[in-house]
Amino acid sequence: MNKKKIEEQEKAILAKAEENGLECDYLFSTTFDRYRRQLKTLEELDKVISASGTLVTKEYVKGRENIYIHPAVAQFDRTADSANKTVSTLLRIFKNFGVDNAEEDIDPLLDIISGGDDDART
């Protein structure tokens, strides 16, 4: 996903938060900032993995080499898992602060976070 699309989706999430009085909420603000930081970390880890590959070679005494999965792969997976949990927390914050989407089949916040496109559904 390109950076411009992500920024547009962040703005849409922030607009939804403002619409529901969450823009100044401490839990929302800190959780959303944490999520953005996790996304940046994932971008950086992805660049490292793309540049050096998923396998690395370690050389031991006497010149023996062993091949291992790049350590950044495990860190990427952990960060992605953590980011997914952070999204769940954001969704709970929205739900617990009265964001009511009972009239709609698709939750707009879920649609924004998942990169949905209103035009694609019509």
Total structural domains within the chain: 1
pLDDT along the chain (122 residues), means of 10: 82 89 89 94 95 90 88 96 94 75 55 56 44
In one-letter notation, the amino acid at residue 40 is: K
Domain of residue 99, residue span: 3-121
Report the C-alpha gap between 64 and 44 in whole angstroms.
Answer: 31
pLDDT of residue 64: 85
pLDDT of residue 7: 87
| pTM score of the predicted model | 0.72
What residues have CB less than 8 Å from 23, skipping those under 6 apart? 14, 17, 29
Report the C-alpha gap between 117 and 119 in whole angstroms.
Answer: 5
Angle between helices 3-19 and 71-96 in degrees, nearest 10: 30
- CB-CB contact of 32 with 17 (8 Å): yes
